[in-house]
Structure 1
Amino acid sequence: MTLADLKQNFYNELQTLYSQDEIDAIFLIYLEDKFDLRYSPTQNFEFEAEANEDLIALKAGKPVQHITQKAFFYDNLFYVNEYTLIPRPETEELIEIIRNDFPKEEKLSIIDLGTGTGCIPITLSKIFTSAKVSAIDVSPEALKVAQINAKNLTTTIHFYQKDLLEELIFDEKFDVIVSNPPYIRNLEKAEMHQNVLEFEPHLALFVEDDNALIFYERIIAFAQNNLTNNGTVYCEINQYLPEETKLLFEKAFRKVEIIKDLSGNYRMLKSTEIK
């Protein structure tokens, strides 16, 4: 079998699930991240049986990143599995906002609330090399993934298994509180792809329709106790609830800004100056 044959198999098996461009992207990710191969149509491919098994999983909706157990984020490869969300490009935009707000040498104290793969705190630690960086997650399985990534990417992160929906007690205050919490309402599930609904952890994604901002309420409560006087809170938000989220933060902060992503949707929030 040549790589051209393998590519055609991907088209044949996945065309009912994905567009041609999406299949192209999945195929290249699969080839590069699992086998460290670059596409050359005539090159022989020796792993046909393994690829056939993987295609069955892909056709069932399994994300390619769960098959390769790798996801590229902000110039680094992260280990991922079924217990963590696959890092998204929108989160890179959140990182970029924080990066532009502080000198790289500043000795920041940073905490990520709901860390998953650890992509946020690890990336911030690599940018702000003098920072002290902490992170929490309720899932012990997710924390194991984050710890593996911190080790693989040679960063020191202080991880804690804690539930954001319960009272968080920390003796220290933080210059930066950052979070990409669950915010997708159940009513929005119809818009989502099968590979997200069936294979990514619902614990990290969804909230009840009638209490969609519950995690932001907890982030605000934590900030009121643990944000430094000049500190800043950065969050990803639901693009359908930007004004509602902003109004909630304005009850506790004097300055609240909602920020559009590259697609023109309000996906980030920044708040300073606790009342």
Structure 2
Amino acid sequence: MTYNELCRRLSPLYGEGEARAIVRMVVEDEFGLSPTDIYMGKVNQLSADERANLEEIVARIANYEPVQYVLGHADFSGRRFAVAPGVLIPRPETALLIPMIGSAAARPFTLLDIGTGSGCIAITAALDYPDATVTAWDISDDALRIARVNATRLGAQVCFERQDALAPPADTALWDVIVSNPPYICMSERAEMSPHVLDHEPATALFVPDSDPLLFYRAIARYATRALKPGGTLLFEINALYASETSAMLHALGFAASVERDQYDRPRFIIARL
């Protein structure tokens, strides 16, 4: 298969632009071909074993398996993180939380990442702000295993703990900053989502009941009212559909909260201070 043939095979599923990006990622990461190599037609000069491997990869992607799971990694904030089924794939927009963390507290500071998944937020913060003491929670053993692998490989000092965000401990004044990208997609939004997300990424990291879209935000915010140090900051990635409701809930709990927009000008984050 040539590069263009591979792109045409995936274009009906992903669109032409995304299909080309996926194929380019595969041939660069898996087979070490540069953009110049691709332009020179070296994709169709692969060995028989390499072509068989490429065919298997493309078949999995054509079945809507995320390319990050197929390759076993995803890039986040300039670093490569291992990912696997059962662990949410890091999104580029989530990386905007990292400078917000850095601006939220004087140095040194303590940080808690709730629902860490691959560990991308906690590990990046620990590496970017070496004077931070970072703890990360998740309820998923699979996520914690992958997060620890990532921390070890990247050389980050993070304390990972198995903890249910809906039943947090009775902590008091422990953290300067709490950050979370919790489950926030309502079940009614499933029809609008791509099969490569619905059929492969962990539902427990994505969905909340339609009857309580703020389920995790409310539990984490209540914990933060006692677990943040005076003047501490709570940072959320949010569902844009419920930005006003999330902000109102935080105000009712005594936070001064502001909604921040992402690179697409969508309400994406909330910064809340006690």
- Category of TM-score, reference length = shorter chain: over 0.9
Say yes or no: does 1:59 pair with 2:62.
yes
Structure 1 stretches of at least 4 aligned residues deviating more than 6 Å after TM superposition: none
Per-residue deviation, 1:35: 2.7
Counterpart residue number, 1:33: 29
Q: 3-state SS of the aligned residue for 2:2? A: helix
CA displacement 1:133-177 (0-9 Å, x = unmatched): 000000001000000000011011000001111133446610000
Structure 2: give runs of 5+ residues left out of the alignment. none
Q: 3-state SS of the aligned residue for 2:241? A: coil
Query: Could you tell me which amino acid in structure 1 is paired with residue 102 of structure 2?
Result: R
Say yes or no: does 1:7 pair with 2:3.
yes
Rounded to whole Å, the distance in 1 between the matches of 2:227 and 2:168 is: 12
Per-residue deviation, 1:101: 3.8
Say yes or no: does 1:49 pair with 2:52.
yes
CA displacement 1:44-92 (0-9 Å, x = unmatched): 2221001111111111100111111111100100000111111101101
Rounded to whole Å, the distance in 2 between the matches of 1:169 and 1:26 is: 45
CA displacement 1:221-275 (0-9 Å, x = unmatched): 21022100011000000011100000000011341001111111101001001xx
Contact 1:117 1:145 in 2 (8 A): yes
Moved more, 57-66 or 33-42: 33-42
In percent, how many aligned pairs have the same letter? 34
Contact 1:253 1:271 in 2 (8 A): no
CA displacement 1:186-243 (0-9 Å, x = unmatched): 1111211110000100100000101110000111121022100011000000011100
Rounded to whole Å, the distance in 1 between the matches of 2:162 and 2:105 is: 28
Structure 1: give runs of 5+ residues left out of the alignment. none
Counterpart residue number, 2:16: 20
Rounded to whole Å, the distance in 1 between the matches of 2:255 and 2:68 is: 41
Superposed, which structure 2 residues align to 1:22-171 within 5 Å? Answer: 22-39=18-35, 40=37, 41-43=40-42, 44-46=45-47, 47-102=50-105, 106-170=107-171
TM-score by length of 2: 0.93
Rounded to whole Å, the distance in 1 between the matches of 2:118 and 2:139 is: 12
Counterpart residue number, 1:210: 211
Query: Could you tell me which amino acid in structure 2 is paired with residue 182 of structure 1?
Result: P
TM-score by length of 1: 0.93
Q: Which has the higher helix share?
A: 2
Rounded to whole Å, the distance in 2 between the matches of 1:30 and 1:63 is: 12
Rounded to whole Å, the distance in 1 between the matches of 2:41 and 2:266 is: 42
Structure 1 pair 102/165, CA: closer, same or farther in 2 (3 Å)?
Answer: closer
Rounded to whole Å, the distance in 2 between the matches of 1:38 and 1:187 is: 42
RMSD between aligned residues? 1.4
Rounded to whole Å, the distance in 1 between the matches of 2:92 and 2:167 is: 29
Contact 2:262 2:268 in 1 (8 A): yes
Query: Could you tell me which amino acid in structure 2 is paired with residue 28 of structure 1?
Result: R
